[in-house]
Structure formats: structure tokens, C-alpha cells
Amino acid sequence: MEQQGMPLLGDRLPELNVLTTHGPMTLPHDMAGKWFVLFSHPADFTPVCTTEFVAFQTLYEEFKKVNCELIGLSVDQVFSHIKWGEWIKDNFGVEIQFPIIADTGSVANRLGLIHPGKGTNTVRAVFIVDDKGTIRIIFYYPQELGRNMQEILRAVKGMQYSDANQCSMPADWPNNGIIKDHVIVSPPKDVKGAEERKAQAKSGDMECYDWWFCHRKG
């Protein structure tokens, strides 16, 4: 099977007709109007993946509060996904409520999830897709390192806030070490804009370290 390169930030997620634990789905069509996190895991019935699924499910309601769904994926058959979900519920009391794609390898190859240097299983990829089907963030993790689901939730919230308020988010937002919970005002793009920014800073609408580094309350 020919491997295709992964899509890039700003690309529309390729149309995917998939079989999941919740039945057939077409992405991103079936998620129209919603954000969603499409994440791959190396394999069912593995320790790190098990901890990740419990962690994702624990935060599932928080994702849904910001109009975001979760969709898992691995190159396993659907009955394996179902049995693994039963095992998680029996052993940890956590019921996996989001769908998991049973991939034959076609989706993994189309999205560039197989990295030969890391074996034949999918890496721990994360695609954050907006309500218009556009890929906004891509994370890649090796098989050895489990993901931080709070960071993925923060990333969704940050991109949504950025879209709604035309601003950028500082490191560790909303708890940045320099500007706290403020957001960054985009720098001006020309000399005239720089002069106008200096005047805006004096008006008290924002705080500035310099014309190119201004911030305001979110």
C-alpha cells in the first residue's frame, strides 16, 4: 500500500469513510458544526494506550462543553476495540463513550500515521479539527510517551478563543509567567501600524512592552 504524506495545518481533513464502534462514519462530514480530536494509538490491550483512553474519557464531558468530540483510531478490528472497552470498564469502572475507528491501514497511511522508524503500529498522533473540517493542530508522540489530555483540551480552547477574539495565546495560557491570563495582540505589519500601535498603547486599551509586544485582558 502506497503511503501518503500527512495533511498539513490549514488543510481540510481528507474525506474518510470509516467503521467505528458506533457504526459507519464519514469524516469530517458527520462532525459538521463541531470541533473534534482525531487521535491514533498504537494498539488495543497495551498499557500506555489504556491509560490514555481512561484519561480521555475522564475529560470527555469537558471536551463536549466546548463543542468538541473525541474519535480514537488504531489498526485493530472493531471487535478488538469493543472487547478492550469492556476490559477497561470491568477493571477501572470507566465506560469509553466516544467512537473508535477500526482501521485496515488505509486511514493510517492516508494521514501519515505509520512511521517506519517507530515500528509498524500507528504513532500517537492527534489531529484537532475545527467545526468547518479544517485541521488546526497536529501533535505527534512516540509510542513510549503517553499524551497529556489537559494540554489537548487547552489547545482546543485556545484555538477557539483565538478565532473568536482575533488574538494569540502566550505560552502556558491562561497561566503565563509574564502576562498571566492576558492574550497577545497581533503585531502590526507595517510602519504606519507600528505608529498607531504606540498611540493605542497610550490609550489604555492594551499594555505594551513595545509596539510589537502588546497584550490585553482576554
Note the pLDDT of residue 91: 97
What does the pLDDT read at residue 112?
A: 82
* pLDDT at 3 (0 to 100): 41
pLDDT of 88 reads: 97
Inform me whether the pLDDT recorded for 66 exceeds 90.
yes
Q: What is the largest CA-CA distance in the chain?
A: 64
| Domain 16-147 and domain 166-218 have a common topology | no
Q: Would you say domain 16-147 falls under CATH 3.40.50.300?
A: no
Class of domain 166-218: alpha beta
Which residue ranges make up each domain of the chain?
Answer: 16-147, 166-218
Residue 1 has pLDDT above 70, yes or no: no
Residue 159 has a pLDDT of: 97
pLDDT of 218 reads: 80
126-150: per-residue pLDDT in tens? 999 999 999 999 999 988 899 999 9
Q: Is the pLDDT of residue 4 over 70?
A: no
Which candidate in 49, 167, 208, 214 is catalytic? Answer: 49
Average pLDDT, the chain: 91
Question: What percent of the chain shows pLDDT beyond 70?
Answer: 95
Per-residue pLDDT at 205: 79
49 is catalytic: yes
Q: Residues 152-201: pLDDT tens digits?
A: 999 999 999 999 999 999 999 999 999 999 999 988 889 988 888 888 77
Higher pLDDT, 75 or 164: 164
Percent pLDDT > 90 in the chain is 69
pLDDT digits (tens, 9 = 90+) for 102-120: 988 888 888 888 776 666 6
Per residue, the 3-state secondary structure of the chain, as one string, reads CCCCCCCCCCCECCCEEEEECCEEEEECHHHCCCEEEEEECCCCCCHHHHHHHHHHHHCHHHHHHCCEEEEEEECCCHHHHHHHHHHHHHHHCCCCCCCEEECCCHHHHHCCCECHHHCCCECEEEEEECCCCEEEEEEEECCCCCCCHHHHHHHHHHHHHHHHHCCECCCCCCCECCCECCEEECCCCCHHHHHHHHHHHHHCCCEEEECCEEEECC
Residue 124: pLDDT over 80: yes
Between CA 183 and CA 185 the distance in angstroms is 7
The whole-number pLDDT of residue 84 equals 96
